[in-house]
Amino acid sequence: MLQDQGIFGRGKEEMTLALSDKKVLLVVPERDFDEQQYERVLRVLESRGIKVTTGSSYVGEIRGMKGSSARASVELGNVKTYDYDAFVFIGGPGVRKLGEDQKVVKLAKDAEYKVLGALGTASLILAQAEVLKGKKATADRSVAEFIESKGGRFTGQPIQVEGKIVTAEGPKYAEEFANALMEALQR
């Protein structure tokens, strides 16, 4: 339903044309990322003509939590926020290590005025960067307390949109999350 009509009634063709010049960076842990989140978000965004780049701690093969792999073409320490319209943080067990990397936290902070998205546990990176301070957000419940300790307002909703920040509980809502990101990119 959301993919065919758009969240606010735009047709698929109209949305694709408006999004074809947009660039999104998927920020993915080098190890133990959630493949379902990554693959579903990537598929939906690319199907709308969005140029999607995968970034991680290094360029090369990255491994998901179930053993599948993807290729990161950008090292996160070299990313310039002006090169992208949105930054999407993919969750999974490896996101905790990624959230300790000050380059990644700085990237999230520097991208505060862009469209930001986080799935599952990846919301902890946005909280660590203090971009959720005073804002509603959702995530995997395992990081709810951390979000609140950093000033965020955890809602527990499947998907939460607060201005240009889109957060989701986990892979079950990845397609709806990607559609909400596309709407945010059009505002």
Tell me what the mean pLDDT of segment 89-115 comes to: 96
User: Global pTM?
Assistant: 0.90
Structure-token match 């993807």, residue found = 70
Residues 124-156: tens digit of each pLDDT: 999 999 999 999 999 999 999 999 999 999 999
Banded pLDDT at 187 (limits 50, 70, 90): confident
Residues 28-45: tens digit of each pLDDT: 999 999 999 999 999 999
Domain 2-186 - what CATH class?
Answer: alpha beta
- The burial of 78, by beta-carbon neighbours within 10 Å (0-12 exposed, 13-18 middle, 19 or more buried), is given as exposed
E-strand stretches of the chain: 23-27, 31-33, 51-56, 60-64, 69-72, 74-75, 86-89, 115-119, 136-137, 153-154, 159-162, 165-168
Contact 40, 171 (CB under 8 A): yes
Which is nearest to 40 in space by CA: 83, 6, 91? Answer: 91
Tell me what the mean pLDDT of segment 52-79 comes to: 97
Domain-wise residue ranges, the chain: 2-186
